[in-house]
Homo-oligomer: A and B are copies of this chain.
């Protein structure tokens, strides 16, 4: 069994997220596994690095899988491009070292969140930005972002329950604003369920003067979701890059 690395991109708008769920056919993982299994004439299971939620996009999702039948990655890549739906793209397919695992080997991930903070229309990218036509105080956003960076218990910035550790390291949050679009880039060793979207909602509330660095410290201390900001909608979020 060879080990392979597959890089995908996708428009998540019409999917129930990345991860296969019981009988749900409408996940990206399911569609890719189905296509790969047909192309290779063997059952294939893939592991994706980022478990994107329903409606979240990926510029670069890395997967790994094992196959006995795959002999020509170029040819399989071209078959994938032929049979995958038009909103899922196969970027590359290469042989990987035997120990490579897309999720477990991942060193850091970057997610981007795109906020469209003007009334002006953005018809061509409307599915990939979150329209939030409020004037934002960017220095307040920056201060709040500084408070989020570092190693903290992010339990209050997540939803759902887990018995595993909720400590994560957010290595850096980059802000870029061109007067119409504010892009927030979050790089870290891993992110909890909804964590990027709740950090984004919190930063936007900071930009409106409704949250401060002190409030963020309080969320870390009390681990209380209700003290953090709103959950920004899925459509503005994109899995941007993965480092190994």
Contacts and interface: CB of A to CB of B under 8 A. Distances in A.
B11 A81 contact: no
B87 A119 contact: no
State the main secondary structure of chain A at its contact with B.
loop
A72 interface: no
Size bracket of the A interface = 20 to 34
A10 B88 CA distance: 24
A123 B88 CA distance: 6
Copies per assembly: 2
A119 B74 CA distance: 12
B78 A123 contact: no
A175 interface: no
A239 interface: no
Given A81-B121, A88-B121, 12 more contacts: A9-B123, A10-B123, A11-B123, A11-B126, A57-B124, A81-B119, A86-B123, A86-B126, A87-B123, A87-B126, A89-B120, A90-B121
Interface of A: 9-11, 57, 78, 81, 86-91, 119-126, 128
